[in-house]
């Protein structure tokens, strides 16, 4: 099977099996999504969605969050992973967002990555979800699933995976494809025990063919 054929079959299956695919993080505006994505690093979306309602109520705007101390922010997010570091990141992000961008979340990857706590993956999520740009955010699920299925070939880094996926996936569906791969990895192609019996991709999956 050629690379083009595999991508075609995988994307066709996802389009039929998961016509609606979107982030499971709860948010009402770009600022809230940015906060939620920063909190989601090495933390489940379920946990983040428990944390954010009272956090957003206390700090509904970048200006409000920028005025909070890291200790005050910590009290709202202490049940997530790495709360000390994330408190500092959220505080720094809000301050810079207010000072450099007038409180508006920028739509440029370099500008986003200038914000504390925002790496390439987080920036790509914001660009794809908020601005519908053709960016592929590679988290652990996307990295694992892409390699298992055979969409990537021995990619060693998230950036290499990103470049390979973007090269082969049509630009207009890249934002949705990002969610396809995440959700497939979260619920079917799990890290320790992939649920191959309930997967519709076994006929094209490189991992399954080697079992």
**Choice among 4, 16, 71, 139 that is catalytic:** 139
**Choice among 121, 167, 176, 211 that is catalytic:** 121
Which residue bears the tokens 């570091």?
85
Where do the H-state alpha helices sit in 102-199?
109-113, 120-129, 140-149, 158-168, 174-187
Whether the CB-CB separation of 48 and 90 falls below 8 Å is answered with no
Per-residue tokens: 19: 């016509």
Whether the CB-CB separation of 133 and 107 falls below 8 Å is answered with yes
Helix and strand totals (H; E) in the chain:
12, 0
Largest CA distance in the chain: 56
- For this structure, is 139 an active site residue? yes
- For this structure, is 195 an active site residue? no
Q: Is 74 exposed, middle or buried (0-12, 13-18, 19+ CB in 10 A)?
A: middle
| Catalytic machinery residues | 121, 139
């Amino acid at each position: 099977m050629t690379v083009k054929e595999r991508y075609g079959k995988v994307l066709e299956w996802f389009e039929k099996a998961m016509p609606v695919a979107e982030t499971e993080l709860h948010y009402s505006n770009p600022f809230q999504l940015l906060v939620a994505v920063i909190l989601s690093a090495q933390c489940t979306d379920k946990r983040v969605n428990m944390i954010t309602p009272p956090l957003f109520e206390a700090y509904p705007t970048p200006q409000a969050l920028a005025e909070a101390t890291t200790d005050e922010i910590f009290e709202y997010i202490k049940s997530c992973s790495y709360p000390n570091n994330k408190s500092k990141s959220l505080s720094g992000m809000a301050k810079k967002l207010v000072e450099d961008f007038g409180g508006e979340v920028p739509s440029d990857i370099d500008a986003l990555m200038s914000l504390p706590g925002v790496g390439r993956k987080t920036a790509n999520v914001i660009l794809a979800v908020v601005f519908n740009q053709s960016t592929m955010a590679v988290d652990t699920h996307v990295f694992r699933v892409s390699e298992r299925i055979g969409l990537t070939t021995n990619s060693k880094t998230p950036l290499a995976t990103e470049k390979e996926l973007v090269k082969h996936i049509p630009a207009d569906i890249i934002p949705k494809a990002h969610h396809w791969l995440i959700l497939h990895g979260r619920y079917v192609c799990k890290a320790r025990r992939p649920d191959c019996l309930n997967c519709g991709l076994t006929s094209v999956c490189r991992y399954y063919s080697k079992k």
